[in-house]
Amino acid sequence: MPDWVLTRRREIGERIRTARLHANLTQVQLGEHIGRDHRTVHRWEYGQRVPTLEDLLLLADALDVPLADLVR
């Protein structure tokens, strides 16, 4: 996998984390809101896994941010 893909994955994870903190949610709370385990949220935030489009839509809704803000 090219380095730029890993970099973008980490950037998206950081945006998810920033939006979660801005919403005053823990990883556990966010996971509960979107029906995912808190370990999954952790893996997204640290770029270890990639959220699906469905997950990104759920995240954007739960965090009250535009989808584009998470993936720009």
Q: Give the start-to-end residue ranges of the domains of the chain.
A: 3-71
**pTM of this structure:** 0.93
List C-alpha distances in Å: 49 to 12, 24, 64: 11, 23, 22
- For domain 3-71, give the CATH number: 1.10.260.40
In DSSP notation, 8-46 reads HHHHHHHHHHHHHHHTT--HHHHHHHHT--HHHHHHHHT
Render pLDDT for 14-50 as a digit per residue (tens, 0 to 9). 999 999 999 999 999 999 999 999 999 999 999 999 9
